[in-house]
Amino acid sequence: MAITLNGGFKMPIIGLGVWRMEGKEIRNLIINAIKIGYRHFDCAADYKNEAEVGEALAEAFQSGLVKREDLFITTKLWNSDHGHVVEACKDSLKKLQLDYLDLYLVHFPVAIKHTGVGTTSSALDEDGVLDIDTTISLETTWHAMEDLVSMGLVRSIGISNYDIFLTRDCLAYSKVKPAVNQIETHPYFQRESLVKFCQKHGISVTAHTPLGGAAGNTEWFGSQSCLDDPVLKGLAEKYKKTVAQLVLRWGIQRNTVVIPKSSKIERLKENFEVFDFELTKEDMDLIKKVDRSYRTNQPAKFWGIDLYA
């Protein structure tokens, strides 16, 4: 099952996010994910594992498990490389051992101090606050992203963690419209206005943290997962599915792409088994009521500044 992006390319509606996956486990996870049926992998320079992902993909291609054209590979420009977009993209392609990307995203709408292409550091100033570069506009960054398309390095380009204001601006100054806005959204953080705005203007929405971050964000940010919600638990029992499967199905029925991550093979299988049932309109409406406008991914913990304030 796939959605069609505004440039005509098809993007599988479920993918595997590789954030916080360690080097040694990546090979087995990616190879097994492909065997399960995953054809979409969501990467980022900042995850610091593109080289390991690249080795796994190369093995999958060389063994005949899958062809390059069968996969949809996303990676992201880190904040410190806004002034070095082409070099950063080429660095990611080299690590991933690919000739082109299916989708390249601006990871966050902020340029910070450059520390070398691909180093993906988040330099702090003397006050322990993210060292933001005020000389590079998001428009400048976007036009460099557009160059990647004309160079044939990238098929589609998009944005990530952009609100309605920034998304509107990008639509206004872009020659190549953003194909995707990747945002945190899940039942506790539904962001209906942003999702509908993007979809109205031809921008597909990818839900990162589609399960509310679960154990990972609880560990990193002390956040609460929607997977423990009694309403969602009750609905999962009704459909004889896990709460995670219910939440992913809800995301798919909103016409958002979902990219759950897991380092367990059995969870990879479970997360992919969401195409054999459908939530009723009444149950979709019921899930609307559990929204808490609750963000679980909080980089301010590391950056010394709340960019969402």
Q: pLDDT tens digits, the chain, 309 residues: what are they?
A: 999 999 999 999 999 998 877 777 899 899 999 999 999 999 999 888 899 999 999 999 999 999 999 999 999 999 999 999 999 999 999 999 999 999 999 999 999 999 999 888 899 998 999 999 999 999 999 999 999 999 999 999 999 999 999 999 999 999 999 999 999 999 999 999 999 999 999 999 999 999 986 555 555 555 678 999 999 999 999 999 999 999 999 999 999 999 998 888 999 999 999 999 999 999 999 999 999 988 887 788 889 988 887
Asked if 252 contacts 236 with a C-beta cutoff of 8 angstroms, the reply is no
DSSP code for 254:
T
Judge whether 260 and 244 are in contact, CB under 8 Å: yes
Measured CA angle at 55 (ends 52, 61), to 5 deg: 145
Which residue numbers are catalytic? Answer: 47
Does the annotation flag 208 for ligand binding?
no
Length of the chain: 309
| 211 DSSP assignment | T
